[in-house]
Chains A and B, each alone.
Chain A
């Protein structure tokens, strides 16, 4: 299963699928992988993204205007998988589109498409029993979020339900770039390590190679989301190129360090 982080820190790249359109999203993803991204989070656009800041909200709106939907994201995943065997592919979604398709059907199609894992922002572990069953049956890794506000008892449940890795939310708040990363993330990773051996990815608010390197000192993987989506927004017509350049900055940094 490609959900293995070969280098440390591994780079996880989030894109909102269908922004600006699905063909371009595929080019962007392949360019990001080529430039060194280890795992791609395929964001499914949703009409009511309560966990997202303005950048991803705008991207979702654009994607929905273009008619993007969950089944197309799964088709896109299959296409990406044909081109890249090594990259990890994670579907990143709100729960309702999955429910609408049907959880079991979703898991089957996702597995078939070569998806490795799924992260649902608004599905906490307590509500996940049937989802977990379907995920397990289809050999998909459920990835759950851990937040700075999660007490230790919850971290344990989250770690137990997760496979592949645990996604640490670096701070309370929605997605979006921040100047300063709070101490929250480091502390949370420390607390989480006590209850799990799974690798830990840290995300939310990481936008610069400096922050990436900083976070990489204590995390196994670092997620860059809004900064990628913003790069796409700002580079109409040359999205894939711009993303490749952007990702390259993170990966060359790594090379320098090595």
Chain B
């Protein structure tokens, strides 16, 4: 298997020798119905069964209206502040900084949000939209269970019926979150097909949506899927970077040299990156799951072994075989264990504005222990991938440099896997 050349401005890469035609299917349409950018360069779009098209149009319209509605913003801000716990702190990681002996490290503390991860930002936003659309049934997929818990939480808060689809492999490794969802009144439906992980949960959620689309909202948990999801979910997470940028300017009087975040679908990363995109000197670094190695099936590093394709509604990098069948993936972290990546990341990567690197299972586990013992913070295994990258990078940077690492969630949900893998008791 050929690996993707990791140069900036790389042409759309291919896995096999057969020329993969870059289709640029359906360029930005420019019609008045689609004035939100559903495309990020050639990526993105809307590739779903016809049955869902009307619902996506409705969602797009409602979202557009909401963004122009002051009251919507006020309501969302209030919920984020009084319910979710925003703003989250930017913590200077002094002992970690000294230990690594390079750049000054700050942690953006999304782990301190209600329900334990950034996912609640998006769930509150979409819940307000569901209310506006007058729907009462909400479905969601979940990998690590954090998005499922956040969805179950907002459904309890708003009084919606809630069904969460979760791969049975993920139910096993994140069983605490399964119980939390049920405690919150959600129905958790196990998905036994494919690799029994996030991708399969999305398939099943889409099947439910196709069937019940008239009454149901699909509360998608990352910057994935058909337009308008990648744009909308990004916007609900932009608050992460907006806060972090103001906080670092206040604390250090300058912008960071780099912002580092883990990338599953890419919602916490795009949220952390977005306000810095215009600051050309700030390096944006996304960390994918390197898993156990770089054979197809052993990792979820889409920019390592993937090529452009369509999965679950969007055109982006996909881990696939030569015949266009989607590959299985592996990561110790359920939230990063997915064969595609948000289309905006594909565009940022092709343009060279952001760079993407892998961190292995072992590196993430080591990073978890290090952060726990130097800072008293147990990160989610997903976030630990970002910590693993700062461990490699900070020592090579100047002491005057500042780095922000997004701690997208806390590690409580991972205690079972950590016990299995770390063997410290």
Contacts and interface: CB of A to CB of B under 8 A. Distances in A.
A122 B48 contact: yes
Interface stretch (A32-40, A128-136, A208-216, A217-225): A128-136
Contacts of A97: 323-325
A2 B327 CA distance: 37
Nearest to B26: A127
Contacts of B310: 94-96, 99, 122
Nearest to B205: A50
Interface string B202-218: 01001100111110000
A100 B323 contact: yes
Given A96-B318, A172-B214, A130 B25 contact: yes
Contacts of A103: 21, 23
Contacts of B281: none
A104 B21 contact: yes
Contacts of B318: 96
A70 B324 contact: yes
A50 B312 contact: yes
Interface residues of A, number: 50
A150 B49 contact: no
B422 interface: no
Contact of B325 (A46, A121, A127, A129): A46
Interface string A156-172: 00100000000001001
Contact of B49 (A104, A121, A126, A130): A121
Given A51-B210, A130-B23, A145 B54 contact: no
B322 interface: yes
B399 interface: no
A96 B324 contact: yes
A146 interface: yes
Given A96-B309, A96-B311, A104-B21, A48 B326 contact: yes
B54 A151 contact: yes
B206 A95 contact: no
B147 interface: no
Interface in A100-127: 100-105, 121-124, 126-127
A147 B214 CA distance: 12
A174 interface: yes
A154 B210 contact: no
B222 to A, nearest CB: 16
A154 B54 contact: yes
Nearest to A67: B323
Given A47-B194, A103-B23, A130-B25, A149 B214 contact: yes
B295 interface: no
A248 interface: no
A53 interface: yes
B48 A53 contact: no
A1 interface: no
A174 B207 contact: yes
Interface residues of B, number: 46
Contact of A147 (B29, B50, B193, B325): B50
Nearest to A58: B193
Contacts of B45: 127
A144 B210 contact: no
Chain A CB within 10 Å — which of B26, B55, B213 has the most?
A: B26
B47 interface: yes
Interface in B39-77: 45-55
A148 B46 CA distance: 19
A101 B324 contact: yes
A173 interface: yes
Nearest to A146: B50
B213 A48 contact: no
Interface string B294-325: 00000000000000111111000010101111
A169 B50 contact: yes
A47 B323 CA distance: 11
B98 interface: no
A185 to B, nearest CB: 13
Contacts of B54: 147, 149-151, 154
Nearest to B34: A126
Nearest to A100: B324
Interface in B12-34: 18-21, 23-27, 29, 34
Nearest to B206: A50
A100 B53 contact: no
Contacts of A144: 50
A154 B51 CA distance: 11
B199 interface: yes
A61 B313 CA distance: 21
A51 B49 contact: yes
B47 A100 contact: no
Given A48-B199, A123-B47, A154-B50, 10 more contacts: A48-B311, A51-B210, A100-B323, A102-B19, A122-B313, A124-B47, A128-B25, A149-B53, A158-B50, A173-B51
Interface of B: 18-21, 23-27, 29, 34, 45-55, 193-194, 199, 203, 206-207, 210-214, 308-313, 318, 320, 322-326
The 9 closest A-B pairs by CB, nearest first: A100-B324, A97-B324, A69-B323, A127-B26, A102-B21, A147-B51, A173-B211, A145-B50, A47-B325
